[in-house]
Amino acid sequence: MATPFALDPQQRAWSEDLRTLAAEKLRPLAAAGEPGRVNRPLVAALGELGLLARLFPAEGAAAGAAAGSATGPAAGPAAGAAGTVHAMDLCLLRESLARECTEAETALALQGLGAYPVAQSGSARQRARWMPEVIAGRAVAAFALSEPAAGSDAAALELRAEPDPSGAGDGWRLTGEKAWISNAPEADVYTVFARTGQAPGSRGVTAFLVPGDSAGLSGRGLDMLSPHPIGTLTFDGVPVGAGDVLGVPGGGFRVAMRTLDLFRPSVGAFAVGMARAALAAAVAHAGERRAFGGPLKDLQAVSHQLAEMATRTEAAALLVYAAAAAYDAGEPGIAARSAMAKLFATETAQYVVDAAVQLHGARALRRGHLLEHLYREVRAPRIYEGASEVQRTIIAKELYR
């Protein structure tokens, strides 16, 4: 039986509450931040409001109660079984925050992306050390997979984990570089993927948990189009031991892919949130702006453009919700559904934002305008966590599986 994916009244009400929370509490903190830098007050607020706890029910239960979120907007619909990360919750959080404050959305998503491998595969000691700090917003997490020569082809990574020359027997030294890492170089803890064996492709990859202050670890920020922090990491013999492995040696690629299967639909949700914000701005502008003897909305070319934008946005949202519902229900074909949701939603958001800019004209290109901001934000999701071309490859392969 197909999983129903229409939002119920409680989910819709929660989404509205989240939008209000983002506009009133988070947007001012985002505005006070420095582009390209980790906004720690914003991350702390996500923790205090219980939004990070919502991503990790088991580890976040105590943090959410302490923050008083059980009766507030962060509580939302019933969270379900403790310990499960719910794709639908993640999608609703990201879409709702993105409509009002993309900086808050991205800060929340990066905490989830960096910490989910710990919740998924970490030992009891690793979870106890890092999950409460991440969920409270006191520690900033990051997911370090991409490299200068291994972006879309993640299995081609070259960061080396070589046996520790001290002869301890259960340790490695990490040597190499990571690139395009969100929250780098300012994160407090990184999920790092390195090659521990001679096996080709994905079979020789191990996931490690690496504190940001580790000896031999350095990095620098990159000046990017999108405003959130992105940087490089350099590993100069960074020591890691058996207790730093997430999962099992050689099982790191599976840790990465399980993380991306969860987060890809939510990248689509981020895109849907931006598309909805751009569509709302375009509808309002076309109803108010007068040209050629009447409001823009009365011009057929404009009204048809708005109709197309609205239809594509709704289709993208439904595809995202369907993928999230299927993930939560444990249905088969998650890889293809996640890829479809990310592909269609991010491509749709690019189209909708661009069309909204065109309808607004030059005013939308002015620094500080909502659409100028969205125009810079909307481009990156078509690349990160698997470019659109990679998503099409995944979908095509799944057709023949």
Comparing CA positions, the residue from 391, 67, 125, 71 lying closest to residue 241 is: 125
Nearest-5° Cα angle at 11, 9 to 14: 110
Token pair for 11: 């989910």
Q: Is 216 left (phi over 0), alpha (psi -120 to 50) or beta?
A: left
CB atoms within 10 A of CB 290: 10
- Find the catalytic residue in 48, 385, 389, 398: 385
Are the C-beta atoms of residues 207 and 197 closer than 8 Å to each other? no
Active site residue 385: yes
Are the C-beta atoms of residues 204 and 184 closer than 8 Å to each other? no
Which positions are annotated as active-site residues? 385
